[in-house]
Amino acid sequence: MTQVLLGTKNPGKIAEALDILSGLPGIRWRTHPDCPFADVEETGSTFLENALLKATAIGRETGLPVLSEDAGLEVPALGGEPGVRSARYSGEPVDVPRNNALLLERLSGADDRQARFVAVAALWLPDGQAFVCSGVLHGRIAESPRGCGGFGYDPLFVPAGAAKTLAEMTLAEKNAISHRRRAIGRMRAILADLLASGELSGG
């Protein structure tokens, strides 16, 4: 069994990733806090840079292949904000209800409520190889929060073609369409290829 570490401490992200990655034979997924690692400062200016920063730092610390991810919300009417600052949009410490309230305030009266969730997954291997996959979910920002599933901006995000917010969906419903599903689902094909070539276990 090859071990791969999920490079996140966010229980919501861990649950979603394990659901998306289930059934990939030959990999034993390791997670925080059973397999501990230091926090990594997200100093990048893009989701891609931050996902790679985390996978590389945690991989070098633990010696394991690491799958990390960075994600956020982009609102064209706000010039792409909150973007890489999604988690800390309303300042430190991270406060999700305050972030959601700020987003609604900035969009009050706006005609254009289009938005997209972006996820970037990065895989780092101990031999130095790296892989990056992106995923996007298009939608719009609701007038008020609805639902208590998911996390982050999910209560405000209505996917294109849907009536419910992401937070009103089950984990399975969200994972069928989410940006994270697309990014990590694409990485799944790469993981399967690396398993077959023996590269995931350092072969």
Could you give the residue numbers annotated as active site?
A: 70
In the set 15, 40, 48, 104, which binds a copy of itself (CB under 8 A)? 48
In the set 2, 31, 134, 201, which binds a copy of itself (CB under 8 A)? 134
DSSP H helices, the chain, are: 11-21, 47-62, 96-106, 171-177, 179-197
Identify the CA nearest to 71 among candidates 9, 145, 152.
152
190 binds a copy of itself (CB under 8 A): yes
The two tokens of residue 105 are 């305030």
For the segment 55-114, give every residue that binds a copy of itself (CB under 8 A): none
Q: How far is the CB of 40 from a copy of itself (least distance, A)?
A: 18
Residue 14, Ramachandran bin (φ over 0: left; ψ between -120 and 50: alpha; else beta): alpha
176 binds a copy of itself (CB under 8 A): no
Q: What does residue 17 show for φ and ψ, rounded to 5 degrees? A: -65, -45
Residues near a copy of itself, by CB under 8 A: 48, 52, 118, 120, 127-136, 182, 186, 189-190, 193, 197, 199
